[in-house]
Chain A
């Protein structure tokens, strides 16, 4: 019992959970873009859901509880339903027959290699904060910040959502008049 308590207080469980969620996120992310078994966009969408849910686990490990809830509700709930709905509307059977072009893979790997080099260089130059993290991303603190310091961006975002809604209705009308 004492050993288990020791493990928890030292943060070893959190570390193991981090590696589990990180591996799950990266694996599902890779399966979104290149699935060896199926090229159907539906499979990609399903693995995107898994990526987002495992990323929510990472958010919880970072004590960003409110954002974890928002991520589940907005991304896994709304955005992915929208994706699946559009896939249903379109007839995408043809996609599965098309081959991935070699040139595209080569160009992608070159650009990804370049960006990985930049990332590793910048990662080496980051000095972590000496203080241990004490921040809690709870709803109360976040809401307070949102309605005092960030009131103007909040209002602008609400206008943006309204504009997006009107735009979507206009775009999906059959005839623009």
Chain B
């Protein structure tokens, strides 16, 4: 069997080759599309909480890319980095949500268009 080409042995002995074997490229593509979705959410949505969720999507996309690189380069260091990213993301979510709650207490709104005090 050639490298990169998977094949299925059928009952009648004929062989199907299919070329879309899942490799690094497929995982990276998923990661890129997920990152783009997160970016779109950050720019498009106007609710602070949904923006925060989109940020989480982008972090997860980066994690997926790191794990895929780690797997296909046979190095475990990428997974250690992902472990640290998950830890820092948890801390970041706790602080960010506390900030949002504090902001809501002060302004009664979690909407970015109502927060214009730094507008020129």
Q: Which residues of A contact B26 (CB under 8 A)?
A: 18, 22
User: Which of chain A's residues 7-42 have a Cβ closer than 8 Å to chain B?
Assistant: 7, 10-12, 14-15, 18-19, 22, 25-26, 29-30, 32-34, 41
Instruction: Judge whether A18 and B53 touch: CB under 8 Å.
Output: no
B30 touches A22 (CB 8 A): yes
Within 8 A of A (CB), among B43-97: 43-47, 49-50, 52-54, 56-57, 60, 63-64, 67-68, 70-77, 79-80, 82-84, 86-95, 97
* Dominant secondary structure of chain B at its interface with chain A: helix
A-chain residues with CB within 8 Å of residue B20 when the two chains form the complex = 15
Which of A64, A87, A134, A161 has the most chain B CB atoms closer than 10 A to its own CB? A64
Since A111-B43, A142-B83 are in contact, a sample of 7 more A-B pairs with Cβ atoms closer than 8 Å, ordered by chain A residue number, is A3-B8, A3-B9, A58-B30, A79-B89, A89-B104, A128-B24, A161-B87
Instruction: Please report A residues at the B interface, Cβ cutoff 8 Å.
Output: 2-3, 6-7, 10-12, 14-15, 18-19, 22, 25-26, 29-30, 32-34, 41, 44-45, 48, 51-52, 55, 58-59, 61-64, 66-67, 70-71, 74-75, 78-79, 82-83, 86-87, 89-90, 92, 94-95, 98, 100-101, 104-105, 107-109, 111-112, 115-116, 119, 123, 126, 128-135, 137, 141-142, 145-146, 150, 153, 157, 160-161, 163-165, 167-168, 171-172, 174
Can you list the 7 inter-chain pairs with the closest CB atoms, starting with the nearest? A33-B41, A164-B91, A108-B43, A171-B98, A119-B32, A108-B44, A168-B98
